[in-house]
Amino acid sequence: MTISAELGGWELPLELQMLRDTVRGFVADDVAAAEATLALGQAKLAPEILAPLQEKARKLGLWALATPERFGGAGLGVLAQVVVAEEAAKCRLGAFFPGAGAIGGDPPSVIFQGTPEQFEHYGRPIIEGRMPKAFTAISEATGGSDPARAIQCRAVRDGDNYILNGSKTWTTHADSAQWGVVYARTGEPGRRDGISCFIIETGLPGFTRSPIPVMIANSPSELHFEDVAVPVANRIGAEGGGFAMADSFLTRARIVYGAGPIGIAEEALRLAVEWAKERRVFGGLLAEKQGAQWMLADCRIALDAARLLVYRAAWKADRNEPARPEAAMAKWAATEAAFKTLDTCIQLMGGMGVSCELPLERWFRELRIKRLGEGATEIQRMIVARDVLA
């Protein structure tokens, strides 16, 4: 990211501007047409419609974006992933299905720290589009925001296997995945070095999964493990090294996570501005009323500020500098500003804002969830407070 003297502000490098325009055109031209086939309340595109979209995404280079080039991916940095995430969320299905599910191909990043055999068997099929997304199971009912202490799901070594017992909750992609990574306790309770990471195939005896209905039609899953025998060969990294591996990608994931809500809010703001310029109230246009103008101005300021925090965190991460507090600020600012923007846009548009004819009501429900995902708002404040007090 460079500073443009001409514009007097931040300006993305030319290659990232080109990437942004590619995603923007793909969403506007291809994704919008595909989403027009969705019935009201339908959460996913039909496979015969999604497959051509994914094929075009691969041709455009919008596939396996976070996967390093040496593993066959695009190898994009965090800032580039942020640019894609913001634009890809400007679709009816929002940030949960960026580009309506067309932009994907990344396996859980921890697989890149596994053995070559683990990557070839589990990671490569996802990158090549031969296998659906895998899940990452960390959170448990005892406390998803504090996994180091809360993880009770236990794996006990028994010869060439680990015997896994316990449960995980709020796990995305588990409904259709063929495998996933599970973080379980192999050491002392409460210790970060007592957690290990395992590859779990969904067909293993004793493993079950069930949907958790939530406020949008994209249900996460609860996973149950009853004496599940997991081969030692399916452990990623050293025993007890799971949390360190998870912590290394959580910060970067939090930054990218914040970009999607900004994209949704930007599209909502665009719709609200168009509405205000056409809607006549009390003898004039809504856009001419100072109250409406100030509401729109507040949204613009909040979104621009949040985006700059996300960009700063991504810039630091790309420089391999510690960015945990910056990521927390970015995630907090992005999700809070986006949620308030959606609320404001719905208020400005009145009945049309809550109509299912427009996607604002769905986006509003999604952004309410986004304030919890990747660490709730209060957790981000706690991280920032620790940094301030340090």
| CATH number, domain with residue 197 | 2.40.110.10
Instruction: Tell me how far CA of residue 134 lies from CA of 167, 172, 180, in angstroms.
Output: 17, 9, 5
CATH number (domain holding residue 263): 1.20.140.10
Active site residues: 374
Look at the alpha carbons of 8, 14, 18, 23 in this order and tell me if their dihedral is positive or negative.
Answer: negative
Q: What is the pTM of this model?
A: 0.92
- Measured on CA atoms in the order 316, 318, 321, 326, is the torsion positive or negative? positive
Where among 220, 236, 252 does a domain terminate?
236
Q: Are residues 320 and 263 located together in one domain of the fold?
A: yes
The span from the CA of 56 to the CA of 75, in Å, is 18
179 token code pair = 């495998």
The predicted structure's pLDDT at residue 9: 53
Q: Which stretches of the chain drop beneath a pLDDT of 50? A: 1-8
Same-domain check for residues 52 and 69: yes
The Cα–Cα gap between 259 and 343 comes to 18
Structure token digits, residue 245: 């591996």
Q: What is the CATH number of the domain that holds 32?
A: 1.10.540.10
Give the structural domain span for 334.
Answer: 244-389
Long-range contacts: 368-372, Cβ < 8 Å, 24+? 368/215, 368/339, 369/214, 369/215, 369/216, 370/95, 370/257, 370/260, 370/261, 370/335, 370/338, 370/339, 371/335, 371/336, 371/339
Contact 123, 115 (CB under 8 A): no
- The predicted structure's pLDDT at residue 323: 93
